[in-house]
């Protein structure tokens, strides 16, 4: 019975010892990229929203990486305004898309990718 308190103390410290405790990320790293609508047709223009893990103290540029064979128009960079944690932008899918459908947002050493979904069939 005298070993039980020691065992509980060891179990309570286990997540910290294994490195599973959460660590704060630098201010303004990408946390989420969403496409609206979640599925689209070739030729459609969709809205993307990039969300950072916290509001920034000053304007924060975010690099946007994508495959030109899938997207006919998409910005290479967007800016999250100061005191905000998100920015939205439009992108247009090629009429005959090929290649990668991913859109990656990167800044401050972090990145996140969203993959566009196409409806079954080539057109409406």
pLDDT in tens, 25-63: 566 789 899 999 989 999 999 999 999 999 988 999 999
Quote the number of domains for the chain: 1
In a domain, 100, yes or no: yes
What is the CATH classification number for the domain harbouring 28?
2.60.40.1930
Strand-strand pairing, 117-118 and 39-40: parallel
Q: Mean pLDDT for the chain?
A: 80
pLDDT category at 99 given cuts 50, 70, 90 is: confident
In a domain, 5, yes or no: no
Query: Could you tell me the sign of the dihedral formed by the alpha carbons of 73, 65, 85, 117, in that order?
Result: positive
The parent domain of residue 61 ranges over: 24-118
């Amino acid at each position: 019975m005298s070993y039980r308190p020691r065992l509980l103390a060891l179990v309570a410290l286990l997540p910290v010892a294994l490195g599973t405790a959460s660590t704060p990320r630098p201010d303004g790293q990408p946390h989420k990229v969403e496409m609206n609508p979640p599925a689209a047709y070739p030729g459609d223009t969709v809205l993307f929203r990039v969300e950072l893990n916290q509001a920034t103290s000053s304007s924060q540029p975010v690099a946007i990486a994508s495959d030109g064979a899938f997207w006919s128009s998409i910005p290479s960079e967007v800016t999250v305004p100061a005191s905000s944690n998100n920015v939205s932008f439009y992108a247009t899918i090629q009429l005959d898309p090929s290649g990668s459908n991913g859109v990656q947002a990167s800044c401050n050493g972090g990145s996140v990718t969203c993959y566009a979904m196409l409806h079954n069939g080539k057109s409406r």
